[in-house]
Amino acid sequence: MAEPMYRQIADDLRGKIESGDIAPGAQLPTEIGLMDEYKASRNTIRDAIKLLTTRGLVEARAGQGTFVVEKITPFVTTLTGELGANVNESQVYVAEVVAGGRAPTASEVRVEIQLASGVVADALRLEPGAQLISRHQQRYIDNIPWSLQTTFYPMSLIERGAAKLIQATDIHPGTVAYLGEACGIKQVGYRDSIAVRTPDENEMSFFKLPADGRVLVFEIFRVGYSQDGERFRLTITVYPTDRNRFLIKVGEVPARDGADS
């Protein structure tokens, strides 16, 4: 039995996309153009486009048309680190990106004073309504939006001498190391919690994600612990699932090779 007409059209268009005849980012012909090309009804063309959309090959942009999805080469982020080390995780991330032959950049730091509530208050063991500091950055790889990162710190750290936390500038050689110098806080470990969810409107806009929700986001909650068992920071990083993978190493393992990327 012959395949339905819409599947035949979808398969033909898929072949053109995968061969490069229709380039990544290119706009498909209009419905009328496709109707004329394939001698098919409007509903048949729409069913074919819907199938391509479900397969993640094309996306509709309101008021513009239907475009071929530009495939993004995923980046592998190593989540595990040296327990007890005052590592600058941002520097580790940048080094990984550079080692992969890619270019990392980030926005200016945005600093806010907020009131603790919900998951942030719980993670830092703060009373609801307690003041805290948030430091937020947008991160890019090869000028493509790659992740959103916000770190929350108890306001008590300012009182203990960490005045740079409320300055809208990068802290060198890293916030964890700075807190060791300013407050005597030594990070002895951290705990990650990973969730997968649909992106909100701001995330869809920043990452340029399709509005149909087929691309989800990872949300990683990292709580840092001091030598006294104090929860002194919560870092929440949002990564789109279409351009990110994670590497977790346990024990003695060989250096990364092609199989890890």
Q: Phi first, then psi: what are they for 223, rounded to 5°? A: -105, 125
Residues in a beta bridge with 240? 217
Quote the pLDDT of residue 186. 92
Q: At what angle do helices 5-19 and 42-54 cross, to 10 degrees?
A: 50
Report the chain's terminal Cα–Cα distance, integer Å: 42
Q: Where are the beta strands (DSSP E) in the chain?
A: 58-61, 65-68, 75-78, 104-106, 110-115, 131-141, 144-154, 187-197, 217-226, 231-240, 244-247
Query: Which residues in 146-178 are b (16+ Cβ under 10 Å) and which e?
Result: bbbbbbbbbbebbeeebebbeeeeebeebbbbb
In this prediction, residue 258 carries a pLDDT of 56
For residue 77, the cross-strand partners are 246
pLDDT for 84 equals 47
Question: C-alpha angle 106/209/73, rounded to 5°?
Answer: 65
CATH level 3 topology of 5-68: Arc Repressor Mutant, subunit A (1.10.10)
C-alpha span between 2 and 11 (Å, rounded): 13
Please give the single-letter amino acid code of residue 43.
Answer: N
The neighbour count for residue 77, using CB atoms within 10 Å, is 19
Residue 1's pLDDT is 64
Determine the Cα–Cα distance for residues 236 and 192; give it in Å rounded to an integer: 10
Q: For residue 155, what are its two tokens? A: 């306001």
Give the pLDDT score at 80.
Answer: 76
Could you give the residue range(s) of every CATH 1.10.10.10 domain in the chain?
A: 5-68
Q: Are 140 and 146 in contact (CB under 8 A)?
A: yes
Classify domain 75-260 at the CATH class level. Answer: alpha beta
pTM of the model: 0.80
Residue ranges in the chain modelled with pLDDT below 70: 1, 81-87, 256-261
